[in-house]
Amino acid sequence: MISIIPVEGLPEIAEGDDLAAMIAAAVTLEDGDVVCVAHKVVSKAEGRVAQLDGVVPSERAHELAGHDGDPRRLELVLREAARILRARPPLVIAETRHGFVCASAGVDASNAPEADMVVLLPEDPDASAALLRAGLEERTGKSLGVVVTDTFGRAWRFGIVNVAIGAAGIDVLRDLRGEHDPVGYELHSTVIAVADEIAAAAELVMGKTERVPVAVVRGLDVAGESTARELIMPPDLDLFR
């Protein structure tokens, strides 16, 4: 059996906060637990927020904003994006510098601490996960996994789901058939993106209120040393670039 445990009672997170200390104080962790953390609190602790005030939008940002969008927000989207895949102003689907494909290159106005602010994705979510894991393991003496999550839309399917954008201490992929040496698309179609499923499971308790940005998934057997970077489709296998 697997349990998904909401971590309640965390305070509002601000830049410089010690997330590991806060989480360790809020929940009793066990060996093998995977601690799932919504990126918004990681980003806030890391100071990855931006003020719209003072941002000077480029011509392209004005175009992408259309009639309904804030061109300053779109300017930040352009700065976070490596590539724009689709645009229907003010909606932009972009590839981030990390390689993630998501709306607004992860620039999120809805979870910002103030009205004129946006939350950005962490600079390096795998590094964020590794740091958080180290801090939690040091405080608890347990062997842990950490997944940093965000909610992404999907091509062809309605609604958004929580996925892994950073990971530490787990195998993010699990071979479905237990066979060896599959290559390319054969591998793609026979491995489960288990870190994304863990993130999705965590959202089932995280999403109910704004104040549960952390959940523990207990009872998995996923200890390992991979990163969420492995969840990005390699360009040579990507049929939808």
Q: Going by C-beta distance under 8 Å and a sequence separation of 6 or more, which residues neighbour residue 44?
A: 13, 14, 15, 17, 113, 119
Least CB distance from residue 128 to a copy of itself, whole Å? 19
Backbone angles phi, psi at 204, to 5 degrees: -60, -25
Beta carbon nearer to a copy of itself, 53 or 68: 68
Strand partners, 163: 150
Rounded CA-CA distance 206/220 in Å is: 18
Using CB under 8 A as the binding rule, the residues of this chain from 77 to 96 that contact a copy of itself are 86, 88, 91, 93, 95
Cβ atoms < 10 Å from Cβ of 156: 5
Q: Is 98 exposed, middle or buried (0-12, 13-18, 19+ CB in 10 A)?
A: buried
Beta carbon nearer to a copy of itself, 179 or 225: 179
Using CB under 8 A as the binding rule, the residues of this chain from 124 to 153 that contact a copy of itself are 151, 153
Cβ atoms < 10 Å from Cβ of 132: 25
Least CB distance from residue 55 to a copy of itself, whole Å? 22
Using CB under 8 A as the binding rule, the residues of this chain from 166 to 195 that contact a copy of itself are 172-174, 176-177, 185, 188-194
Q: Is 231 in the site for a copy of itself (CB under 8 A)?
A: yes
| Coil/strand/helix, residue 198 | helix
Q: Is 156 in the site for a copy of itself (CB under 8 A)?
A: yes
Point out which residues bind a copy of itself (CB under 8 A).
1-6, 86, 88, 91, 93, 95, 100-101, 103, 110, 151, 153-163, 172-174, 176-177, 185, 188-194, 196-198, 200-201, 203-205, 207-208, 217, 220-221, 230-234, 237-241
